[in-house]
Structure 1
Amino acid sequence: MTTTLDGLLADLRAENTELDALVARLDPADWARPTPAEGWTIAHQIAHLAWTDDWAALSAREPEDFTSVVERSFSPGTDPVEEGAAAGAALAPDELLSRWRTGRDQLLAALEAAPSDVRLPWFGPPMKPASLATARLMETWAHGQDVADALGATRAPTARLRHVAHLGVRTMGFAFGLHGLPAPQTPIRVELTGPDGELWAWGPEDAPDRITGPALDFCQLVTQRRHRDDVALVASGPSALAWLPIAQAFAGAPGKGREPGSAPPAAEHQPF
């Protein structure tokens, strides 16, 4: 797995480019299509990515000012995430697309220029540039899944999923904490089959608790784009069984997840 900052930024750029190709050819009316995220259209999905990229670029470019800007911008009783998505979705599609493209390029430049060993402020724990790039790749892929589902498109999984899977494994303790539960004291072995058939593994080989299955399914689960019942993951051991239903690779409050059976039927999808 590519772990250098240059490699991560190249993968983030590629993830952006793939999603861009999916929305750039849409008719203006298609931007108003509802996605699996309640109340969010395709325009909301892209607007949210643009909004978050702008904040990430600020963190990388002016880390000393990030916290004060957040405090001035986020007032009690507001929902900045929803407001940011709604404001962007209200733009004309070509204007929103241009804004997203400009912002993500600025983010890539800011992360490339940031000191690699300095932790940058964020809405959750501070992160080094490589970790922030990984988080942006995860979110871009996850919201891209919502867009693809809205369009009935099937994206070919790539080796970039390993970044998403890695983040999903690393956030296990975080997921338990969100639900007021202690993190498991026994290790969990995660073995996933990558898009090319290779084995991706985390945790000791002799761990009593195990999770196995396709990498794509694991990534869809930890980003809460699929319900536990709709993925081909096999879990054994109490800790593994307790983790999968609450897995969450993204920051913030516990996600609502998706209802079982809500994944679009594969037969309705068109390859992308």
Structure 2
Amino acid sequence: MSDASAVTAAVLDDLAQESAELDLLVAGLSAHEWAAPTPAEGWSVAHQIAHLTWTDEVALVAATEPGAFAAEVEKALSAPGTFVDEAAGEAVAALTPEALLVEWREGRARLQEALRRMPAGSRMPWYGPPMSAASMATARLMETWAHGQDVADALGVARKPTARLRHIARIGLRARDYAYAVRGLQPPAEEFRVELRSDQGELTVYGPEDAAQRITGPLLDFCLLVTQRAHRDDLAVEAAGPDADRWLDIAQAFAGPAGTGRPRKGDR
């Protein structure tokens, strides 16, 4: 196995574990709990799982039928602000929670298989730049964790942070310039230094050691910030330098329009 293939396999293993953890959280829910509202306005627990199901389905099309995926891009361009919400809503309306669980499980298994089969060095189309299998797996892990956080918040469950958070932190940092571009802003020319500490005390570091613009804080808090699952003021992520400070206000790890983020705890 090549180094690239080994990296892809490792990320896909982590994605499978992240999905399985969320599966355990929702598998035994009552119909009332499936309908519980989450912090995402207008989205129930069922909507969150439906969204993951839908995104796995379109990712599978991109991986296996890149020509057919062009139709999905056209749908996105025709309704850039609503197409994802509408797709998730349609899935919920069509499926019972039991059927939705089956659909999600089977769909993510099919995507796993397709991504593991992709030749090393190949790329698949997506709504932004083309993606490798490892990049797609990382993006799916990020979304699974973020939507899983919405589910956990809705159910009042505190999840234990795992080492898989490093994938989310990395994609959040790599999406730095995208966060500026999607808002029509010019991204900074220089790299940032980012130092994040896990709950176990392990330090994850990105960027040059002598960078003038710096971000520090807990790994979990940084992941909550870049996935816009908590307001910056409610997190212990700190910036040194005006560019770094500005980025923390707009950071987003996900593709699509600029997110509105979550309100401060005191404003909910």
Q: TM-score range by the shorter chain?
A: over 0.9
Give 2:9's aligned residue.
6
Using the TM superposition, give the Cα deviation of residue 32 of structure 1 relative to its aligned residue in structure 2, in angstroms. 0.4
Relative to the length of structure 2, the TM-score reads 0.93
Over residues 202-235 of structure 1, what are the superposed CA-to-partner deviations in whole Å (9 max), with x where a residue is unaligned? 0111111111110000000000001110100111
1:85 is displaced (CA, Å) by 1.0
- Which of 37, 57, 67 in structure 2 is aligned with 1:34? 37
Partner of 2:85: 82
Which amino acid letter does the alignment assign opposite residue 15 of structure 1?
Answer: E
Q: Kindly state the Cα deviation for residue 129 of structure 1 after the two structures are TM-superposed.
A: 0.8
Q: Contact between 1:32 and 1:41, CA under 8 Å: does it hold in 2? A: yes
Moved over 4 A (4+): none
In the other structure, the counterpart of 1:215 is 219
2:100 maps to what in 1?
96
Q: What's 1:61 paired with?
A: 64
SS at match of 2:265: coil
Asked whether the 8 Å contact 2:58–2:72 carries over to 1, the reply is no
Change (3 A) 1:263 1:193: farther
Paired positions, count:
262
How high is the TM-score relative to the length of structure 1?
Answer: 0.92
Say if 1:209 and 1:238, in contact at 8 Å, map to a contact too. yes
Q: How far does the alpha carbon of each residue in 1:226-246 deviate from its partner, in whole angstroms, 9 at most, with x for none?
A: 111010011110111010010
Query: For 2:191 and 2:13, how far apart are their aligned partners in 1?
Result: 32
Please point out which of 247, 250, 256 is paired with 1:246.
250
Q: Name the CA distance, whole Å, in 2 between partners of 1:168 and 1:61.
A: 26
Structure 1 counterpart of 2:20, from 17, 22, 34: 17
1:133 aligns with 2:137: yes
**8 Å Cα contact 1:191/1:201 also seen in 2:** yes
Against the structure 1 CA distance between its residues 129 and 89, is the aligned structure 2 distance closer, same or farther, given a 3 Å change threshold?
A: same
Aligned to 2:236: 232
Work out whether residues 57 and 110 of structure 1, in 8 Å CA contact, stay in contact via their aligned partners in 2.
Answer: yes
Corresponding residue of 1:260: 264
Shift of 1:67: 1.2
CA RMSD of aligned residues (A): 1.8
Alignment partner, residue 122 of structure 2:
118
Contact 2:229 2:261 in 1 (8 A): yes
Q: Give the superposition deviation at 1:263.
A: 9.7
2:39 alignment partner, SS class: coil
Seen in structure 2, the aligned counterparts of structure 1 residues 263 and 216 have a Cα distance that, compared at 3 Å, is farther
1:49-100, Cα deviation, whole Å (9 max, x unpaired)? 00000000111112233214543x5683583311211122222110111110
**Partners of 1:227 and 1:257 within 8 A in 2:** yes
Task: Work out whether residues 188 and 243 of structure 2, in 8 Å CA contact, stay in contact via their aligned partners in 1.
Answer: yes
SS of aligned partner of 1:66? helix
Q: Distance in 1 between matches of 2:24 and 2:138?
A: 21
147, 155, 178: which one aligns with 2:159: 155
Percent of aligned positions that are identical:
55
- The counterpart of 1:199, out of the listed 199, 203, 208, is 203
Residue 14 of structure 1 aligns with an amino acid whose one-letter code is Q
